[in-house]
């Protein structure tokens, strides 16, 4: 059942993609360019955005607008959104992909990594929407898509801080949907499993159902086209984690240890 208006056609749609410099965001930029969207690409690393823009021109003859952005900085977000609204009179889609991951267990818990993940993964999209929600309300339409993770479904090994940031983002998206859907604004939460990115490359354990960023971008695009509130993939892994949530804890912890902890 579609909970949002479908974004069936991306041609000439105005899309602000945050977190475009690598991984899933990089693949999404290429997918959106192929679909004919008008793109603003943002991340902290301007040199990576320049390289991406050159690739988009070469592959799809599409030039995107580059607006560097640090989602951990209120000042950077405020300045970037002003430039976005100068370039796009309306925003059809905000796609927030930016995120950081550091594997943390109880014995490696430290405030520096914890604050970095919380500030980027949770407060980052909140900072951006603090400025953009008035624009969406003024428009009376548009879509907000936030990339979370299946790690937000339940507690997982080496995800002591990352998982809670994604769980909070899922809760945030649910509340955001309740507030904005009646006003004609689509809200989407995207929960990938393990994707081959620079972030997951640091993992020292076997990652079940590992997929490419290109596959992730296709799944995200399909979910947006179908108007899904939640897009989760790959299904063989994400449904398993959803199933774990409803089990008694003794069974839950046993299954996590048996099938996820390698």
Mean predicted confidence (pLDDT) in 12-29: 97
- How high does pLDDT run on average in the chain? 95
Class for domain 14-259, per CATH? Answer: alpha beta
pTM over 0.85: yes
Mean predicted confidence (pLDDT) in 41-54: 96
pLDDT tens digits along 71-124 = 999 999 999 999 999 999 999 999 999 999 999 999 999 999 999 999 999 999
Distance in angstroms (rounded) separating the CA atoms of residues 217 and 20? 12
Mean predicted confidence (pLDDT) in 42-68: 96
More confident residue, 205 or 238: 238
Per-residue pLDDT band for 207 (boundaries 50, 70, 90) equals confident
pLDDT tens digits along 220-252 = 999 999 999 999 999 999 999 999 999 999 999
Instruction: For the chain, give the percent of residues with pLDDT over 70.
Output: 99
Extract the tokens encoding 97: 């992909």
The confidence score (pLDDT) of residue 208 equals 81
C-alpha 233, offset from chain centre: 13
Using the structure block, give the residue that is written with the tokens 């971008």.
217
Distance in angstroms (rounded) separating the CA atoms of residues 53 and 59? 10
Extract the tokens encoding 212: 């490419």
The residue count of the chain comes to 262
Mean predicted confidence (pLDDT) in 32-46: 97
Q: Are 181 and 136 in contact (CB under 8 A)?
A: no
pLDDT score of 262 more than 60: no
Mean predicted confidence (pLDDT) in 195-204: 79
For the beta carbon of residue 132, count every other beta carbon within 10 angstroms. Answer: 21
Per DSSP, the residues of the chain read ---S------TT-EEEEES-SSHHHHHHHHHHHHTT-EEEEE-S-HHHHHHHHHHHHHHHS-PPEE----TT-HHHHHHHHHHHHHH-SS-SEEEE-------B-GGG--HHHHHHHIIIIIHHHHHHHHHHHHHHHHHT--EEEEE--GGGSS--TTBTTHHHHHHHHHHHHHHHHHHHGGGT-EEEEEEE--B-STTGGG--S--TT-B-HHHHHHHHHHHHHTT-SEEEE-HHHHHHHHHHHTS-HHHHHHHHHHHT--
pLDDT score of 138 more than 70: yes
Distance in angstroms (rounded) separating the CA atoms of residues 183 and 177? 10
Mean predicted confidence (pLDDT) in 142-161: 95
The confidence score (pLDDT) of residue 2 equals 87
């Amino acid at each position: 059942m579609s909970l949002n208006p479908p974004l069936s056609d991306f041609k000439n749609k105005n899309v602000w993609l945050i977190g475009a410099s690598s991984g899933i965001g990089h693949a999404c930029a290429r997918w959106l360019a192929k679909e004919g969207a008008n793109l603003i690409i943002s991340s902290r690393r301007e040199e990576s955005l320049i390289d991406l823009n050159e690739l988009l021109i070469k592959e799809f003859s599409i030039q995107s607008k580059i607006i560097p952005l640090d989602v951990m900085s209120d000042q950077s977000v405020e300045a970037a959104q002003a430039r976005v609204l100068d370039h796009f009179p309306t925003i059809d889609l905000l796609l927030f992909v930016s995120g950081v991951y550091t594997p943390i267990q109880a014995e490696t818990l430290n405030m520096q990594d914890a604050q970095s993940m919380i500030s980027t993964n949770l407060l980052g999209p909140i900072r951006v929407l603090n400025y953009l929600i008035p624009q969406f309300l003024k428009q009376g339409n548009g879509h907000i898509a936030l990339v979370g993770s299946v790690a937000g479904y339940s507690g997982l090994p080496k995800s002591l801080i990352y998982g809670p940031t994604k769980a909070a983002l899922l809760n945030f998206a649910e509340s955001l949907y309740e507030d904005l859907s009646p006003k004609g604004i689509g809200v989407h939460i995207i929960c990938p499993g393990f994707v081959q990115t620079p972030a997951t490359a640091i993992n020292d354990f076997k990652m079940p159902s590992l997929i490419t960023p290109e596959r992730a971008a296709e799944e995200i695009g399909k979910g947006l086209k179908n108007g899904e509130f939640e897009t989760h993939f790959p299904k063989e892994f994400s449904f398993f984690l959803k199933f774990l949530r409803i089990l008694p804890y003794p069974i839950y912890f046993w299954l996590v240890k048996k099938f996820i902890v390698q």
